[in-house]
A and B are shown apart, each in its own frame.
Chain A
Amino acid sequence: MTARRVLARLAGVVGVLWGAATLTFIIEQLMPTDPAQTILGGAGSKPTPEQLAAVRVQYGFDQPVLLQYLRYLGGILRGDLGTSYIRKQPVAEIIGQQLGSTLTLTATALVGAWIIAVVVTLLTAHRSRALAALGSGLETLLAALPQYWLGIVLLVVFAFTLHWLPVVGDGGPEGLVLPALTLALPLAGFLGQVTRDEFSSAMEQPFAVSARARGMSDFGVRWRHALRHAVLPGLTLSGWALGSLFSTAVIVEAVFVRPGLGRVLVDAVTSQDMPVVVGVTLFVATIYVVANLLVNLAFGRIDPRLRSAAH
Chain B
Amino acid sequence: MTAPLVRVEDLTVAFGAGNEPVVGGVSFEVAPGECFAIVGESGSGKSVTARTLLGLAGAGARVDATTLELHGKSVLGNRDRDWRQIRGREIGFVLQDALVSLDPLRTVGREIAETLRLHRYGSRSKRRERVLELLTSVGVPEPELRARQLPHELSGGQRQRALIASAIALDPPLLIADEPTTALDVTIQAQILDLLAAMKDRGSGLILISHDLSVVSRLADRVAVMRDGLLVEQGPVADVLTAPSHPYTRTLLDAIPAAHRKGTRLSATALPPTDPALIRPPSDDLLLEANNLVKRFRGPDGVERTAVADVSFSIGVGETLGIVGESGSGKTTTAQLALALLEPDEGTVQLGGTVWSEATEAARRPRRRQISVIYQDPLGSFDPRWTVRRIVEDAVPAELYPDGAARRQRAARLLVDVGLAEEHLDRRPLLLSGGQRQRVAIARALAPEPSLIVCDEPVSALDVTIQAQVLDLLADLQERLGLSYLFISHDLGVIHHVADRVLVMREGRVVETGTAAEIFGAPRDPYTRQLLASLPLAEPEPVSGGPA
Contacts and interface: CB of A to CB of B under 8 A. Distances in A.
Nearest to B54: A213
B118 A215 contact: yes
Contacts of B88: 213-215
Interface string A179-209: 0000000000000000000000000011101
B305 to A, nearest CB: 15
A207 B56 CA distance: 13
Contact of B100 (A2, A205, A213, A307): A205
B104 A303 contact: yes
A212 B87 contact: yes
Contacts of B17: none
Interface in A210-264: 210-218, 220, 224-225, 228-229, 232
Nearest to A231: B105
A308 interface: yes
A88 interface: no
Nearest to A305: B104
B171 interface: no
Interface in B53-103: 54, 56, 80, 84-89, 91-93, 95-97, 100-103
A209 B103 CA distance: 10
A207 B104 CA distance: 8
Contacts of B163: 210
Contacts of A308: 300
Interface in B161-199: 163, 166-167, 169
A32 interface: no
A179 B440 CA distance: 60
A304 interface: yes
Given A5-B301, A207-B100, A302-B150, A214 B56 contact: no
Interface string B324-342: 0000000000000000000
A78 interface: no
B124 interface: no
A206 B101 contact: yes
Interface in A1-21: 2, 4-5
A209 B100 CA distance: 10
B97 A206 contact: yes
A245 to B, nearest CB: 27
A172 to B, nearest CB: 39
A212 B118 CA distance: 11
Contacts of B84: 215-217
B152 interface: yes
B99 to A, nearest CB: 9
A302 B119 contact: no
Residue with the greatest number of chain B CB neighbours at <10 A, chosen from A210, A229, A305: A210
A214 B80 CA distance: 13
Q: How large is the interface on A (under 10, 10 to 19, 20 to 34, 35 or more residues)?
A: 20 to 34
A211 B96 CA distance: 14
Given A206-B97, A311-B300, A214 B102 contact: no
A214 B168 CA distance: 10
B302 A5 contact: yes
Contacts of B300: 307-308, 311
Contacts of A211: 103, 114
A259 B88 CA distance: 58
A212 B84 CA distance: 8
Contacts of A206: 95-97, 100-101
A211 B95 CA distance: 11
A307 B301 CA distance: 10
A8 to B, nearest CB: 9
B376 to A, nearest CB: 21
Contacts of A217: 80, 84
B478 interface: no
B104 A304 contact: yes
A210 B95 contact: yes
Contacts of B102: 207, 210
Contact of A212 (B56, B103, B152): B56
A218 to B, nearest CB: 8
A210 B93 contact: yes
A216 B110 CA distance: 14
B115 interface: yes
Contacts of A207: 100-104
Contacts of B54: 213
Contacts of B100: 205-207
Residue with the greatest number of chain A CB neighbours at <10 A, chosen from B89, B91, B105, B111: B105
A207 B106 CA distance: 11
B526 to A, nearest CB: 33
A220 B91 CA distance: 19
B123 to A, nearest CB: 19
B167 A213 contact: yes
A283 B104 CA distance: 37
Contacts of B150: 302
B547 to A, nearest CB: 37
A210 B301 contact: no
B151 to A, nearest CB: 9
B105 A229 contact: yes
B105 A214 contact: no
A82 B157 CA distance: 62
Interface string A14-39: 00000000000000000000000000
A225 B105 CA distance: 8
A224 B113 CA distance: 13
Contacts of B56: 209, 212-213
A110 to B, nearest CB: 22
Contact of B103 (A4, A225, A305): A225
B348 to A, nearest CB: 33
Interface of B: 54, 56, 80, 84-89, 91-93, 95-97, 100-106, 111, 114-115, 118-119, 150, 152, 163, 166-167, 169, 300-302
20 contacts: A2-B301, A206-B97, A209-B93, A210-B93, A210-B95, A210-B101, A210-B111, A213-B54, A214-B114, A214-B118, A215-B84, A215-B85, A215-B118, A216-B84, A228-B103, A229-B105, A303-B104, A303-B105, A304-B104, A311-B300
The 5 closest A-B pairs by CB, nearest first: A213-B93, A215-B88, A215-B87, A214-B115, A214-B88
Interface of A: 2, 4-5, 205-207, 209-218, 220, 224-225, 228-229, 232, 302-305, 307-308, 311
Given A213-B91, A215-B115, A305-B104, 14 more contacts: A4-B302, A5-B301, A5-B302, A205-B100, A206-B97, A207-B102, A210-B166, A213-B93, A215-B86, A216-B118, A218-B80, A225-B103, A302-B105, A304-B152
